Amino acid sequence: MAAVSPEAERYVERFAAFVEASPSSFHAVRAVADALDAAGFSGHDESDVWPAICGGARGYALRDGALIAWRAGADVAASSPVRVLGCHTDSPGFVLKPQSDFTTEGWAQAGVEIYGGPLLNSWLDRDLAFAGRVVTREGSARLVRTGAVARIPQLAIHLDREVNNGLTLARQRHTQPVIGVAGASALGLLAEAAGVDADEIAGLDVRLADTQSPGRVGADREFLASPRLDNLSSVFAGLDALLAAEPAPGAISILAAFDHEELGSESRSGASGPFLEDVLARLRAGLGASVEDAARALAESWCMSADAGHAVHPNYPERHDPHVRPQPGSGPMLKINANQRYASDAHGASLWERCCADAGAPAQRFVSSNDVPCGSTIGPLTATRIGIRTVDVGVPLLSMHSARELVHVEDLHGLARIAASFFAGA
Ligand code: ZN
């Protein structure tokens, strides 16, 4: 097995730092915005007047846990097509409930609600932080992040000798973390982290996050074990590509990172909401586009919807299609589903092949077994909402929706290279 390439080594180091900076979707968009600021992009508040865009324009807008950034190529015009790299900033896990502090048998605990579809067992016995945002009574929002303060404890085997015959977790009773002994308070910890008094905090959007840093494993250190690979693997690939790739002349590159995908995307910052449509309309208006111009532009535009997928699992090979077997290290995947759980079609496959060839990156394909229901992504939602041609892609993982997922580092880097070719107009 070949060792990891120096380019992938450098990429994965930057990616791991991004994951550590992004314990919540709010932190993830802040980390993306910081990188964009450093590269000369200007942030636009949605309530401000946006300037008209011209060749070379670079900007972005934030909406809660979502971000849309754009980079215009030379000679952009009213009918310039867009190339959108779509992805999501959220990951399944746990969210702090209101009035979260309670005490049981002398233990201080925090009430949490399950967010999306995590593998519950993977969150047991981990060193967990709180991370997200708080909003004060005056309406000012602050990012917050504590150290490792919480743990969802397993039951000792001595108290349940049957546990290895099948673990069943009650979603309310067995998932509540301990945060100390009587008197400890999650709200108090968050107020301290935010630098405000607890009674100034009016609202919380706060998650549990695993505090263990991403780490390399494998005989050749070829894997990265990390939280939130679904879907920070795609967010970072899109950011890296947007910064690296000069857009094709007369085209606009767009990074669209949505929140709430793990819940079905139905929110103002989710892919079923109007955020992308709103930004596209404002960019079009800034180019002086007519209805005719906008329609012509859309017909030539593309969305590459990037989201993590499944590598073939060595211990459960029967769960996968018997012939299409995504391997770790063989490249990102084109994801195909006849029932439009993925938006890829034959034209999408053609675009994907061009991008992979241009990047010189290996790639493979994913399709589900007919016996196992297929997941979905933002791809079909964006295609339905905007009418834009869309192709679904992503890196192959093991243990998707675990608190700690696994990916081959060459696949991570491959996605960034292919995304760069997509932006460059391949
Ligand atoms: Zn995902």
Taking only the tens place, the pLDDT of each residue in 273-305 is 999 999 999 999 999 999 999 999 999 999 999
Say whether pTM exceeds 0.85.
yes
Q: Ligand 1: distance of its center to the CA of 84 in Å? A: 17
Ligand 1 centroid from CA 294, angstroms: 30
Give me the helix-helix angle, 25-38 and 229-244, nearest 10°: 10
> Could you tell me which CATH class the domain 6-91+227-424 is placed in?
alpha beta
d(CA 34, CA 32): 5
Distance 45 CA to ligand 1 centre (A): 27
Which pLDDT score, from 0 to 100, does residue 382 have? Answer: 87
> What is the CATH number assigned to the segment(s) 93-210?
2.30.250.10
Q: Are the beta carbons of 211 and 131 closer than 8 angstroms?
A: no
What is the C-alpha to C-alpha distance for residues 309 and 333, in angstroms, rounded to an integer? 8
State how far the Cα of 60 lies from the Cα of 69, in Å rounded to an integer: 4
Calculate how far, in angstroms, residue 210's C-alpha sits from the geometric centre of ligand 1: 18
pLDDT band at residue 373 under the 50/70/90 scheme: confident
The DSSP result for 224-290, as a single string, is EEETTHHHHHHHHHHHHHHHHPPPPTT-EEEEEEES-GGGTS-STTSTTSSHHHHHHHHHHHHTT--
pLDDT in tens, 119-150: 999 999 999 999 999 999 999 999 999 999 99
Distance 161 CA to ligand 1 centre (A): 36
Average pLDDT over residues 384-388: 90
| Distance of CA 275 from the midpoint of ligand 1 (Å) | 19
- Of residues 3 and 399, more confidence is placed in 399
Q: From the CA of 388, how far away is ligand 1's center (Å)?
A: 20
pLDDT at 35 over 80: yes
Give the residue-averaged pLDDT of 347-367.
Answer: 97
pLDDT of residue 2: 64
Q: Region 82-103: what's the mean pLDDT? A: 97
Residues 60-78 pLDDT 10s: 999 999 999 999 999 999 9
Task: State in Å: Cα 124 to ligand 1 middle.
Answer: 21
Would you say 328 and 411 are in contact if contact means Cβ atoms under 8 Å apart? Answer: yes
Distance 137 CA to ligand 1 centre (A): 33
What's the CA gap between 216 and 49, in Å, rounded? Answer: 46
Tokens 């504590």 label which residue?
146
pLDDT at 163: 94
φ/ψ of 255, rounded to 5, equals: -105, 120
93-130 in b/e form (b: 16+ CB < 10 A) is bbbbbeebbeeeeebbbbbbeebbebebebbbebebbb
C-alpha distances (whole Å) from 266 to each of 40, 112, 122, 260, 410 are 32, 21, 27, 7, 33
Type of residue numbered 84: V
CA of 406 to the centre of ligand 1 (A): 14
Residue 411 Cα to ligand 1 middle (Å)? 16
CA-CA distance, 369 to 320, in Å (whole number)?
5
pLDDT band (50, 70, 90) for residue 3: confident
Backbone phi, psi, residue 115, to 5°: -105, 115
Give domain limits for the chain: 6-91+227-424, 93-210
β-bridge mates for residue 88, sequence order: 258
Q: pLDDT > 70: what percent of the chain?
A: 100
Residues 110, 101 contacting (CB under 8 angstroms): yes
Give 166-193 pLDDT, tens digit per residue: 999 999 999 999 999 989 999 999 999 9
**254 close to 69: Cβ distance less than 8 angstroms:** yes
Q: For all residues of the chain together, what is the average pLDDT? A: 96
CA 244 vs CA 36, 71, 240, 369, 421: distances in Å: 12, 11, 6, 37, 10
Distance 378 CA to ligand 1 centre (A): 9
Q: Is the pLDDT of residue 340 over 70?
A: yes
In the block, which residue shows the tokens 């053609």?
350
Output the CA 131–ligand 1 centroid distance in Å: 19
- Convert the pLDDT of each residue in 12-28 to its tens digit: 999 999 999 999 999 99
